[in-house]
Structure 1
Amino acid sequence: MNELYGPLDSEGRVPPLQQTRIAAFLISAHGALARQSAFTLPTKLESAWQTELNAQLFRETEIVSLLMRATSWAPDPGLGYMTVAWESAWFPAPVYEISDWPLAVAAGLATLAHAVHAGIRPATLLPAEANPEDPFAMALRRIEFESGRLLQAQILSLKGPDFVPFRDAVNSALERRHAEVRRLWRDMLQSVGIAIRE
């Protein structure tokens, strides 16, 4: 097992099979966030968290689009089974202790988004000798940069006044989501020969 992507090819690029599986995982996660944001977003914005949700929708869509174009795709027979497992994990999980249903759904989405943006750090596994001009490497760095920005929005949302009365329930949901996302990310990386330290 390696601790970083690779071995890199002669041009300093991540192997296509690793690119394929990593990109598929990230597209699955960020695509789920985009879909859920689209369905959670009301037609008229009435509160601050809805404004952030609108911004998140378009940033998540941009991440998916970037990965689809920047990845050197390779045939991967195991991807079908893995994608089903990933998509099941991203299924909406409203915070049921919140009686206001749109707010309960938004809280569930915010916990998933926080876990994805905080728990998945794809660029940190790039070796120092990775080609900085490679589209895939650049895409991973861009995703990590955007995730940092989106994470700040999720923190503000989860600490906002709407969720104060439900702090324990939201924190519990957040812990569950973080554990699930970390496990999925670790398992996917292990499937392409990368071991990450907890």
Structure 2
Amino acid sequence: MSTFFGPLDSDGRVPARQQTRVASFLVSAHGALGRRFALALPLRLESAWQTELNAQFYNESEIVSLLLRATHWTPDLALGYLAAAWETAWFPAAADGIPDQSLAFAVDLATLAHAIHAGIRPAALLPVEANANDPFAMALRRVEFESGRLLQAQIMFLKGESLLPFRDAVSAALERRHAEVRKLWREMLESIDISGDENGVKP
């Protein structure tokens, strides 16, 4: 089992089967974040944090759009049941130990976003000989760059003063979401003969 994509074709491009499976996972994850951010947005922005929420929604939508266009798609019969498992994992689940339900769901969304943005490093799967001008390779690097930038918003919210009384509950929710995302990402990589233990998965 390899720690990188491959074997690459003669033009240094990632095999279509691997592109399809990885892009499907990323589209599912970032698409779920986009939907949840959209549902959390009010019709009229009335505070600074809602402005950031709006930006997060459009950034997640951009990531999905980029992957849809940059990926060399190929039929994958396993995607039916895989996508069902992924989508189920993204379902909202109010963080335990926070009495205010709206805040508990906001914490769950932030921890899920943190886990996806911090825990998945798709560009790390590209071998050095990969074609730097290939749209899929460029898309993965862009996704990783954007994830690093978006991560700052989740960190600021989760470490904010409003959540200081619930520090243990936030830590538990964050740990649970990270474990879920790592497990799904690792299993998906192993299904296309890539080891997730060294590349593409942050501990």
TM-score interval for Structure 1 and Structure 2 normalised by the shorter chain: over 0.9
Deviation at 1:195, TM superposition (A): 0.4
Aligned residue pairs total 198
Note if contact 2:36-2:109 (Cα within 8 Å) is conserved in structure 1.
yes
The equivalent residue for 2:2 is 2
Q: Distance in 1 between matches of 2:83 and 2:171?
A: 27
Q: Cα offset for 1:50?
A: 2.6
Is the 1:40–1:105 contact (alpha carbons within 8 Å) kept by the matching residues of 2? Answer: no
1:42 corresponds to which residue?
A: 42
Cα deviation for residue 100 of structure 1 reads 2.6
Q: Distance in 1 between matches of 2:127 and 2:156?
A: 33
Give the superposition deviation at 1:125: 0.8
Tell me which residue corresponds to 2:70: 70
Match of 1:121 in 2: 121
If the length of structure 1 is used for normalisation, what is the TM-score?
0.96
> RMSD of the alignment, in Å?
1.2
Structure 1 gap ranges (5+) = none
* Aligned counterpart, 1:164: 164
Matches within 5 A, 1:19-168: 19-168=19-168
Q: What is the CA–CA distance in structure 1 between the aligned matches of 2:103 and 2:80, rounded to whole Å?
A: 33
Residue 14 of structure 1, CA deviation: 0.3
Is the 2:185–2:196 Cα contact (8 Å) retained in structure 1?
Answer: no
In structure 2, distance between residues paired with 1:48 and 1:95: 23
Q: Is 1:181 aligned with 2:167?
A: no
Contact kept? 1:119, 1:182, Cα under 8 Å: yes
Return the offset for 1:182.
0.3
Contact in 2 for aligned 1:122/1:140 (Cα 8 Å): yes
Provide TM-score, normalisation by structure 2. 0.94
The gaps in structure 2 that reach 5 residues or longer are 198-202
